[in-house]
Structure 1
Amino acid sequence: MQDELRTKATDKEFLLSIIDNNFELPSNIDAYTFAQALLPNFGSTDSELRDDLSYMVLARGIIDKQLLSQERLGNLLETVLDDQHLFYRLGSTATDAIFMRSFSNLIIAALLFNDERNPAFDETTIQSIKRRLLQYAEQEKDWRGYIEGKGWAHALAHLSDALDECAQHPHMVESDRKEIMQQISKLASLPRALYNEEDIRLAKVPYHIILGHQVNEDFIESWLETCTPTRDTDVISWTRVTNSKNFLRSLYFLLYWDSTGAVLADQIADQLKHLDEVYLERR
């Protein structure tokens, strides 16, 4: 049965038929067993199988439709957080292992989103997720976006989605959200040029926290200071500053477009002006 399900899990036409049938699994397929059969696909270099089919079936056809019991949700979570999934060959760069790590973040995000509506995880579990995500964020070295011939890796964007769902979970408190925002400030100034809209995916995490008044204003003010590294003359330093400026610009516009965040948006604008003052006309 396991081999049969694994064959079905890699059958694109079969997966597409599930999607076309409003994400309904055939009645003779056990949802949890099929979810497990889908997991290896997230390490595939076939973007259609990995992204368009497997992720959609697992997230929308199994998790969103609440086909898993509380115990099975916990089992699935434990699996995607392990060394063969989120932490698979963590620290390696320019290898296909990034797909498994990156897409594990998306599965975690889907599980957290579902848990906010239909609680299955206790506070201890949510704290464990937060710790694992922050550990992953510190240790990941491969931040490629789109990989020619293999599709999106986009680990930073997918991690941002997971951190966003984690930060908004009811079991999170102010100190947890501060930890997450501190990690976001580090990610915003990575030494690798980010040009696949990672900036706005990152920015939505503090945006939601700020709009929800989930951390105090003094912390936000001091946190903003940490979002901009010192600009030296070397290329890596300039890359870090450029990434952080793009992040702050994205956060600025998210807050500016939302009237409740206008005051903070002005503070960010002042910070950006200070960074780019050298370019202002002096006549």
Structure 2
Amino acid sequence: MSASYWRQVQEADFRVPVDRPLDDLTAELTRMLGSNDPVVRDGTAYPALATWTSRGVYDDLLSGLGDGMAAGLTVGLGERESDSVFRRSFSVLVLGECVARDNAAGLVPPNKVLEWGDRISTWYLRERDLRGYVPGKGWAHAIAHGADAIGTLAESPHLAQAELTVLLDVLADRITLPVESQFVHGEPDRMAAATMSVLRRNVLPLTVLEPWVARLAAAATARVPRGTDPFLRRGNSESFLRALYLQLALAPNPPAVRPDLVLVLVDALRRTNPYYLTTGE
């Protein structure tokens, strides 16, 4: 359909058009998620699908919609700096909306949510296009969008201690993977926010969290070969630990483990930032 058609949908507060079948509209919007035009992708396709999902338009079709978005995570997977990243990155956002709708209304079987979680986690660790803002094409931001979806998954009542521990491990794996350029578009903050969603479930004990922080601190202090950029090996872990400490210390609705975990993080930050924390004497 023409741009004017979807502009009219936007101007009508994203009310579902009645002149075309919902299946056709959904298929078109799904294709539009992969557009390299941010007006089409960010301004139309994603908000339309997200709004219709949250309003219950897809309540009887939620499993199918989520499966379609999960399939979108494999489109072009492994490519770097190609436009296929937009389809994957915005598919995971819509899949997160499907999980959020189930969190609110309990519409799909628990195994379906767990399956979506597996698909998100697998994609997140295999994604190789780590660009944030792409000049002329807008946000790709796969790492941030994946973190958002993981944070929503953490709020699902279908995930218990074992599954929440896996989510933390997925985040740590992603943070510590080697990169060709450091995350500079707020990704560590979004990943810390996802971690806070896990912590707010109040089911993970310090015996799980302390070695998890220690693993990240070890990555932030890892030795690197002489003549290589140490921030490509350690910088993301350092940034994440700082972001998590900030959110944990200042959050208005902290998890129960905050007092003990803050002390663990302070110790990790002292070890990973020794040059900035001396007395100067």
* Same-fold call, TM cutoff 0.5: yes
Aligned residues of 2:99 and 2:153 also touching (Cα < 8 A): yes
Letter in 2 for 1:44: S
Deviation at residue 207 of structure 1 after TM alignment: 1.0
The whole-number CA distance in structure 1 between the counterparts of 2:272 and 2:58 is 50
In structure 2, the partner of 1:4 is none
Aligned residues of 1:255 and 1:262 also touching (Cα < 8 A): no
Deviation at residue 113 of structure 1 after TM alignment: 0.8
Letter in 1 for 2:243: S
The whole-number CA distance in structure 1 between the counterparts of 2:5 and 2:34 is 19
Aligned residues of 1:146 and 1:154 also touching (Cα < 8 A): yes
Deviation at residue 21 of structure 1 after TM alignment: 1.7
Deviation at residue 237 of structure 1 after TM alignment: 4.3
In structure 1, the partner of 2:261 is 264
Aligned residues of 1:15 and 1:57 also touching (Cα < 8 A): no
In structure 2, the partner of 1:275 is 272
Shift in CA distance, 255/43, structure 1 to aligned 2, threshold 3 Å? same
Equivalent residues in 2 for 1:21-170, closer than 5 Å: 21-60=12-51, 62-70=52-60, 72-82=61-71, 85-170=72-157
The whole-number CA distance in structure 2 between the counterparts of 1:150 and 1:30 is 30
The whole-number CA distance in structure 2 between the counterparts of 1:94 and 1:107 is 22
Letter in 1 for 2:26: A
Aligned-pair identity in percent equals 24
Deviation at residue 32 of structure 1 after TM alignment: 3.5
Aligned residues of 1:256 and 1:265 also touching (Cα < 8 A): yes
The whole-number CA distance in structure 2 between the counterparts of 1:38 and 1:258 is 36
Deviation at residue 281 of structure 1 after TM alignment: 4.1
SS at match of 2:152: helix
In structure 1, the partner of 2:233 is 240
Shift in CA distance, 53/274, structure 1 to aligned 2, threshold 3 Å? same
Structure 1: which 5+ residue stretches go unaligned? 1-6
The whole-number CA distance in structure 2 between the counterparts of 1:209 and 1:138 is 18
Deviation at residue 16 of structure 1 after TM alignment: 2.5
Residue 16 in structure 1 maps to residue 3 in structure 2? no
Aligned residues of 1:186 and 1:227 also touching (Cα < 8 A): no
1:184 to 171, 179, 182: 171
Aligned residues of 2:80 and 2:128 also touching (Cα < 8 A): yes
SS at match of 2:36: coil
Question: Which whole-Å deviations, capped at 9, do the CAs of 1:61-116 have from their partners, x for residues lacking one?
Answer: x211111242x22111121112xx11112111111111111111101111111111
Aligned residues of 1:91 and 1:142 also touching (Cα < 8 A): yes
SS at match of 2:33: helix
Equivalent residues in 2 for 1:208-223, closer than 5 Å: 208-223=197-212
Aligned residues of 2:58 and 2:65 also touching (Cα < 8 A): no
In structure 2, the partner of 1:252 is 245
TM-score (norm 2): 0.90
CA RMSD across the alignment: 1.7
Aligned residues of 1:93 and 1:142 also touching (Cα < 8 A): yes
The whole-number CA distance in structure 2 between the counterparts of 1:118 and 1:19 is 26
TM-score (norm 1): 0.90
